[in-house]
Amino acid sequence: MKISILLFEKMAAQDAVGPYEVFRCVPGWEVELVGERIGEVRAEGGLGLLADRALDEVDETDAVLVPGGRGSEAMAANAAVLDWLRRVDERTRWTISVCTGAEILGAAGLLEGKRATSNWLFLDRLPGYGAEPVGGRWVEDGKTITAAGVTAGIDMALHLVDREAGPEVAQAVQLGIEYDPDPPFDSGSPEKAPRAIVEAVTAASRASRA
């Protein structure tokens, strides 16, 4: 398996790094980081990540992964990126997004008629791309897999390893990276978090969009 992860300015680093850590642990799998050009990109908060391949160097891949983050709106309007996604999607076995990366896939026309998910704060945008928004940590529809917000990318990546390499390999990878979530609060989704917290986060998100 060759997996190409798109990097861009103001992306959410964990959207890419979480799945990367899963995929790189699978024997025989190759993971490459792709950007509009070779070199450093700055994720949200300023973390630097390095794209070692440019878009025009990657015409074919088994799986393409698109992260989300604040920079996703710019990518959803970037003709070069959207053209590249449409081109590689013609040959991928899997086309994947994490968080608001779903909007980039949608802008490329790759979610039309599909069930999909995204960060819960942005699910209402998916119908605008012809997608049916659904909940859950990830949604598989054909060869397209969309994951919910940020950490859901790890769950989705383990699911893909299971689909391609089997449950034993997926479980071995999960154990190897000691992915055993035990957060101090059970507030990781709007269904579980206290109402006041949900309202505060929703208000902050709307203010940020404005």
| Listed residue (138, 113, 137) closest to 127, CA to CA | 113
DSSP readout, the chain? -EEEEE--TT--HHHHHHHHHHHTTSTT-EEEEEESSSEEEE-GGG-EEEE-EEGGG-S--SEEEE--STTHHHHTT-HHHHHHHHHHHTT-SEEEEETTHHHHHHHTT-STT-EE---GGGGGGGGGGT-EE--SSEEEETTEEEE-STTHHHHHHHHHHHHHH-HHHHHHHHHHTT-----SSS-SSTTTS-HHHHHHHHHHHHHHH-
**Residue 171, token pair as written in the block:** 């479980």
- Which residues does 198 contact at the CB level (< 8 Å), separation at least 6? 190
Annotation says 99 is catalytic: yes
Which tokens belong to 43?
């994720």
Which residue among 99, 110, 116, 152 is the active-site one? 99
Which of the residues are catalytic? 99
